[in-house]
Chain A
């Protein structure tokens, strides 16, 4: 009896080939323009950092559109993933008009490509664009537009408590959506460092409560990381997070007594003006190890 059990334990459940085919199917590579040079797989967490007006939300919107478009519809190839996008807006600055403008533009473009040959589009790009656009004013598919917009789910959080409560109920909501037949592709968090200062303040002003853990910065970030890890284990999705730098760029000549944790490739001559600005890392270490 024991021998039989030991043998089955050693024998293994599946061969390597079977396992690879299963993993590649479940957690396939996702190519989302504009990040199509970065091979993303389900379970990856990507952080996009930059100074304030640097189009981070624009990248998210573009990636969202590639995700919500279907692969083909009515014979026209759109090349999207057809999955849901969950957008957690912590910055509260999302403009749905921008999303709808870009989606309409994509649909029109794909329509023109589908109906005419693609080299005609190339030519019209070389010559005056206006004339070509006026000639081929195709009406895009209203039904498709509506179904795409419905695949974009959005919630905004005004402080850390709301963020945590949204994350905790996220798993349940994803299950609800999967029961309706749609799969979640990407979870986007706009500006993960949004509540950094308010959390720091509340951690320094925390009263002594004996039973409950106080809402300090490290606690909040740890809980966020925990919830994200749990989500990534259960569902196959990619997490895209943007982060705005909150410390100003300082040129290396002036900055001498603070620790750096990011790349800095200055040539060593402080008088040269065109230097890479240094980006200071301000998120606690529990966030930094999630990548």
Chain B
């Protein structure tokens, strides 16, 4: 009887095997911006859930699109972009791709980015579970495997169901967080989600990330983005990271249309 349970439950790994798996399967993906790469010591790590928090119009969607373009181009990986607020723009992504001068190559890169709109959390569950089944049933690892999953504004999916003292909303939030982490770890995908900020109660002027206290322990890495409207500079700082101290910041500039690639 015990052996049956043993077959079901997960195997115990030792520290060395964990390290090997990390070095072999989980690479670092560049975010498309040199400053952020140096802040994160390389970029997004596959297998981790990165959250980008910022007030509205602070450049979160631009960051997401830049990251998607960079992964599709430099790392030869597929990108799945789940948009909840109709803010995706294919033209802007094309601007981020450096080799858009070469039409066929640019087209190939663009074809590696797939895009879905998701408007509520149940569709999200469906999409993610369908993705899990597809990933698990892929026998051969073709050269364009899925490397990055972007969910632009997961907070707009979750905030409508959170509320009151019932546990359904929070349970769904935790469930989707765990589903994302499981996808990330088992299939070596980097996941980027965005979140907005709300005012901290009673203090006036200070803001904190939305989605509450329970969500704080779900992402691996939390980044805070703020924008200085006078000179369109963005500042990204680390709120929380699994292996780096928080509080480090870096200033980035949004790329204009005709700027040269780095």
> Taking beta carbons and an 8 Å cutoff, which residues of A are in contact with B?
51-53, 86, 91-101, 146, 148-159, 162, 165-166, 168-169, 172-173, 191, 194-195, 197-198, 200-201, 204, 244-248, 251, 254
Contacts and interface: CB of A to CB of B under 8 A. Distances in A.
Nearest to A84: B14
Contact of B246 (A53, A94, A154): A53
A197 B15 contact: no
A162 B171 CA distance: 17
B212 A248 contact: yes
A98 B217 contact: no
B14 A169 contact: no
Contacts of A101: 243
A165 B5 CA distance: 6
Interface pairs A-B: 7 shortest CB-CB: A149-B15, A201-B171, A95-B242, A52-B216, A152-B15, A165-B9, A96-B18
B213 interface: yes
A155 B2 contact: no
**Main SS at interface, chain B:** helix
A262 B21 CA distance: 42
A162 B10 contact: yes
B22 A169 contact: no
Interface of B: 2, 5-6, 8-16, 18-19, 22, 167-168, 170-175, 178, 181-182, 185, 201-202, 212-214, 216-217, 220, 239-240, 242-243, 246
Contacts of B168: 201
Contact of B9 (A99, A162, A204, A244): A162
Contacts of B18: 96, 154
A152 B213 CA distance: 30
A246 B171 contact: no
A149 B23 CA distance: 15
B53 to A, nearest CB: 13
A92 B167 CA distance: 22
Given A149-B14, A162-B9, A172-B2, A53 B239 contact: yes
B170 A95 contact: no
Contacts of B11: 155
Given A156-B10, A198-B171, A97 B16 contact: no
A204 to B, nearest CB: 7
A197 B174 contact: yes
A197 B10 contact: no
B8 A150 contact: no
Contacts of A197: 167, 170-171, 173-174, 214
A158 B239 contact: no
Nearest to A198: B171
Given A95-B242, A169-B5, A146 B174 contact: no
A96 B240 CA distance: 16
A166 to B, nearest CB: 5
Contacts of A98: 242-243
17 contacts: A51-B213, A53-B239, A100-B15, A149-B19, A150-B16, A152-B14, A153-B12, A158-B181, A159-B178, A162-B9, A165-B8, A165-B9, A168-B2, A169-B9, A200-B171, A201-B168, A248-B213
